[in-house]
Chain A
Amino acid sequence: MILIQAPFLNLQAILDGLMIGAIFALVAYGMALAWGVMNIINIAQGEFVILGGYITFMVYKLGFSPFFGAPLSFAFLFILGFLLYKLIVHRVVDRDMFISILATFGISIMIRQIMNLIFGSQVETALTGLGTIFLFDHNITIALVKFSSFVIAVAGALGVIYFMKTSKLGRAIRATAQNPRAARILGVDTEKVYAYTYAINAAICGLAGSLVVMTYTIHPYMGLPYTVRSFMIVIVAGLGNIPGVLASGLGLGALEELSAYAFGTEYRIGLVFLFLVIILVYRSKKLAKRREYLK
């Protein structure tokens, strides 16, 4: 098997996986935020990512380095998320989950088609002009654009976490996540909290999107994999568990790459879902034991 023939490939696979996983972890963090605080599963998550990518792509087309697009995508999606909350999402926040899924599904369709109309439907990418570095005597190859995406993704996630821990709004968000009614009684304006949470989620996706367009390619209809993957990561990690979400994102990325090497690329998605199933079964068994004990 190739992993044994060329042992460095193991390290290479893990590194590649971490770099891919970082972007997915970022999107998953946003998903966990919206879900944990507002009980909204944002089906438009992937579309926010692609839209963020297009904003950065526009910056790139104007002749600037796409890295300047990252803060722009963040800001633009923040505003868009805020507007979408005020226009649409606030009407479905208190309803059951199905309604909110339907509403965000509608948002995703609209964004997709608007992007198609405005930006066209050809596949696009942004070139950063960054090179490649070789480690361990040319045995490990690292594309610098992927590495910088990793760094930016981690920095972005840490930035948001720091914001959550220290700022007043961050504490209000965490309070609302724990118990909305209690938070309201204690004077937290939950409507404002929800609006900002959705906006932050969109902004995180926008940042991830700008990394995606630099590292990979974008297309108006390529959003769904990001939605599905972030949903999966949140499920694996469990809702309230932020470090878990980030770790799962990275872990899933690494696992996917390793399985792609070991078993062939056609199995990577299958193996990831298999892993998801195993974790869920294990968790249900573990919880079943606890339930017995409590009885």
Chain B
Amino acid sequence: MKKIIVTFISALALLFSYSTLSFAKVVGDKIILGAAVSLTGKYAGSGKHTQKGYDLGVKIVNDNGGVKVGGKTYKLEVQYYDDESDGAKAAALAQRLIEQDGIDYLLGPYGSGITVAMAPVSEKFGVPMVEANGAARSLFTKGYKYLFAVLNSADQYLNSAVDLMAAKKKNATVAMAFEQDAFSLDVKLGVEERIKAHGMKVVIDDALPKELNDMTATLQKVKALKPDLLIVSGHDKGAMTGIKQITDLKVDVPMVAMTHCDSAAINKNLGGGGDYTLCAAQWHKSLSYKDEFFGSASDYAKTFESVYSYDPPYQAAESSAALLVYKAAFERANSFDKDKVRDALAQTDMMTFYGPIKFSETGQNLAKPMVLFQVINGENKVVAPEKWAEAKLIYPTPKWADR
């Protein structure tokens, strides 16, 4: 009797495990995109920004006429899995989305490390992936044909900060603190190239361990050696820890530049300590880009805030833009065949609220520039490039004693 029950239950279990095959690429009037995003784990904060960006993109596209293919109108939908901020899991989930769920179009995960883990999978199965949050340079040097990135690569993040420093002072000295992950190391590569080009000198080059909570050693060295420019890149935690400890230790540096300042909200959460910091950003709501779906950049920010009750960091904006890219590609291909969609994606050349998007041979978006903003009085104001600047750079940063 027991044997019969066990066999029956396992048969049922087998049946249920196959039922997921109903997630084919198009079901009824829905086009289903697949995504593995970090909903838990170290990158959960930014993973959630990414998911919200995707969801808002889907909502706006669906509310504005959907996607027209072969004379019919379709709605977009995203099938999510949680990659737990783990590259290996993300790769396994990508395979599951493609093989088990029958998905033919992927949206990228959060973070360079995880995108680097997923890219070989989508490439192997010939499934196009439009990613909005993986900036590592290595994604564009492997000859991937199915990867399309709407954002700028990591090695461009802080170059303009170095250039600004060079314009203000000859032979400036630089202190760097970078986390040891794919993204931050690429930012470092870009920064080091500019430093060399300007003849600046690196006096501190610290590697921040991944589970770091304390930058005191680096900052005490900064106090002793007094560099002109301090660069910190360690995702949200690095930005927050850096600013907090700079405030606590009253470290005076004429120019401080960081990444991930807006996703860590240093302009709000640190009691003014974040002021005067230069931040690398893929997008800012004050830029004058616009499109017919979201309106202008500031319209997007207003819409996002009305739905999610907080100011969108650029991670959300670039994720929403990915959906606009897909919609245009589906309509251009006028087909659901993944290779035709892939070719249509390669021909993307459009303006969005996020900025111009045009993919190079390697899938990189070369049309959009990185911006640099400075936190002034708790507000993020774009200061570079000159063309988009809404405020003048405040240099040098006032000393703590004078604030």
A residues at B contact (CB < 8 Å): 2, 5-6, 9, 12-13, 16, 20, 112-113, 116, 120-125, 127, 129, 132, 141, 143-146, 212, 216-217, 219-222, 224-225, 257, 260-261, 264-266, 268-269
Contacts and interface: CB of A to CB of B under 8 A. Distances in A.
A121 B249 contact: no
A146 B270 contact: no
B247 to A, nearest CB: 9
B390 interface: no
Contacts of A222: 42, 211, 213, 237
Given A122-B236, A141-B250, A221 B42 contact: yes
A121 B44 contact: yes
A124 B223 CA distance: 26
B45 A122 contact: yes
A216 B214 contact: yes
Interface residues of B, number: 42
Contacts of A269: 209
A260 B208 CA distance: 10
A70 to B, nearest CB: 18
Contact of A216 (B40, B177, B205, B213): B213
Contact of B244 (A132, A217, A265): A217
Interface string B134-175: 000000000000000000000000000000000000000000
A258 B248 CA distance: 20
Given A143-B245, A261-B221, A264-B206, A220 B250 contact: no
A216 B241 contact: yes
Nearest to A266: B207
A125 B213 CA distance: 11
A120 B46 CA distance: 11
A99 to B, nearest CB: 25
Given A145-B248, A146-B248, A221-B85, A261 B42 contact: no
Contacts of A113: 40
Nearest to B273: A127
Contacts of B225: 2
Contact of A266 (B44, B209, B237, B264): B209
Contacts of B240: 123, 125, 217
A79 B152 CA distance: 49
B248 A132 contact: yes
Contacts of B209: 265-266, 268-269
Contacts of A261: 217, 220-221
Contacts of A145: 248
A112 B220 CA distance: 33
Nearest to A267: B207
B288 interface: no
Contacts of A112: 40
Interface string B166-199: 0000000000010010000000000000000000
A143 B249 contact: yes
A268 B214 CA distance: 12
A214 to B, nearest CB: 10
B217 A127 contact: no
Contact of A16 (B177, B220, B236): B220
Contacts of A144: 248
B295 interface: no
A122 B265 contact: yes
A120 B47 CA distance: 11
